[in-house]
Amino acid sequence: MNSGQTIEHFLNALWLEFGLSDNTLSAYGSDLRLFVKWVKEKDLTAVDEACIKDFLANRQQQGITSRSSARILSCLRRFYGYMLREGKISVDPTQLIDAPQLGRSLPGSLSEADVELLLQTPEISDMLGFRDRAMLEMLYATGLRVSELVELKFSQINFRQGCVRIVGKGDKERLVPVGEEAMDWAERYLNGARQVTLGNRQSDYLFVTARGSCMTRQAFWHIIKRYAQLAGIDKHLSPHTLRHAFATHLLNHGADLRVVQLLLGHSDLSTTQIYTHIAQQRLKALHTQHHPRG
């Protein structure tokens, strides 16, 4: 079996065993193919610890971040763990390699005033502008991942109950409440601009492009950046900026960390705990304001 087939078998095993998302599997596949190029003609079963350390050092010299380096090591650990279970190797070469130290920094976010500016930027007299406004409203109101938003289907939204049903990472399902403002924009878009955009065509997706198809994550990310620029928001943005703003603003207004965990779809509270210091700052402010000796 060649290296390409071995990688495909490994990715299939990951999908079956852990239900990892297509994006994660694609990243793992890319990392492993880079690793195969690095080891060249060397058999993957003959790779040792020194070879992996050299590969990681080379990737860091190419300018990748510590977080990306940690992801690559995680991929290689899973791969060689799989090879060990399959009896292809007798020793895991990644076993004694330490992961790079990562800081738990809070993702970049926007203030509530910034969000208001961003939401009001799309030109709603234009059909696609109205769609963009509805998408931004939905994204901020729910904290969905961008991939979850662009793939949102009409059947997943319940206008009567005011919620959306999301199947997130690992095929885990969650119900996310949607505020009246965002729901109103979605309903007006559904009954207006969407129908005009589609014409006689049919689509299962709630938010559609001018071609009547589902938008890509990359396309919507460019839309967010364009509107941020038009709004004069000079801050570092990421595809999940509004998701982080959603979580940050909930906590600022007194939401419980575990509630935010459920809404974001984090399987582990430790993932949500990057926001802990926000809750701590709010508690400190409340103590200072209300305690007799604050």
The residues annotated as belonging to the active site are 145, 169, 240, 243, 266, 275
Where does 47-179 have alpha helices with state H? Answer: 49-61, 66-85, 112-119, 127-142, 146-150
Do residues 129 and 122 lie in contact, with contact meaning Cβ atoms separated by under 8 Å? yes
For the record, the structure tokens of 74 come out as 């995680």
Beta-bridge mates of residue 205: 153
CA distances from 209 to 155, 193, 230 (A): 18, 11, 21
Element holding 165 (H helix, E strand): strand 163-167
User: d(Cα 245, Cα 266) in Å, to the nearest integer?
Assistant: 16
Element holding 217 (H helix, E strand): helix 217-230
User: d(Cα 26, Cα 205) in Å, to the nearest integer?
Assistant: 23
Q: How many CA atoms lie within 13 A of 184 on its CB side?
A: 3
For the record, the structure tokens of 6 come out as 């071995």
CA distances from 181 to 119, 140, 184, 185, 267 (A): 12, 11, 5, 6, 28
What amino acid is encoded at 75 in this protein?
A: C
Going by C-beta distance under 8 Å and a sequence separation of 6 or more, which residues neighbour residue 31? 71, 72, 75, 76
Overall size of the chain counted in residues: 294
Element holding 157 (H helix, E strand): strand 157-158
